[in-house]
Amino acid sequence: MTNGANDVLDVTIDGTVARLTITRPDKRNAVSDTLMDALGAFFANPPKDVRIVILSGEGDHFSAGLDLSEHVARDAAETMRHSRNWHRIMDLIQFGGLPVISVLRGAVIGGGLELAAATHIRIADPSTFYQLPEGRRGIFVGGGASVRIGKILGADRMIEMMLTGRKYTAEDGLRLGLSHYVCDSATEAEAKANELAAKVADNAQLSNYIMIQALARIEDMAKADGLFTESLCAALTQTSDDAREGLNAFLEKRAPNFK
């Protein structure tokens, strides 16, 4: 089933998998407010049967970042509200409860890298490159990079990346954690996304939900608080019907059938 959300984001539902494709190839899939609103609308109310999302960009690039051609002059208060709205939408992607796989190629720059960093599994092809050029444009990140990308790279490396506008290659990104996989071609990257989507969608939904909700937050907690939260998550998952099915499947040497 296909549901074109609008002219910037194509939404196709294939069983339990939602395929979201940014459809602005003439703009290198630059991030606009219209695109962010479309992403926010989907993740705020995804179709009931969807268990996983694959996010990609049409053409040769995932996303070249903020669409500067649509830049609107704002005062400080308006700029802060605009940034906070992007934070809200990125949080919907990261914490909405659905695992999200991003398929990266070509430019993954600025806001495009912020968008990728909000996804849970990132797969790159050899053409992928990463950049945070805000320092060269007299601005600062506003879509969550200082937190999400800062956690991946560490503040020291992110400062250097922003000050210099340095580009990282696909292999650099794998080494640094900007992606989890690098495949030999775009076709193989898409195949890997499909393979992992099928595997993750077969997990118990409660376990997937708890992993998405808890782990990034536990990282921000003090040790004692994190361990207490871990115990709560274990109690929720290990007393569920899915946990009983998983144990029985293991003992009976068969694949589990999670509801």
Which residues are known to be catalytic? Answer: 114, 134
- β-sheet with 129-131: strand ranges across: 107-109, 129-131, 167-169
Structure tokens belonging to residue 59:
């053409």
CA distance 132 to 114: 9
What single-letter DSSP state applies at residue 168?
A: E
Q: What is the DSSP string of 123-134?
A: EE-TT-EEE--H
Q: Is 24 helix (H, G, I), strand (E, B) or coil?
A: coil
Among the listed residues 82, 158, 86, 91, the one whose alpha carbon sits nearest the alpha carbon of residue 118: 91
Length of the chain as a residue count: 259
Which residues does 120 contact at the CB level (< 8 Å), separation at least 6?
94, 99, 100, 101, 212
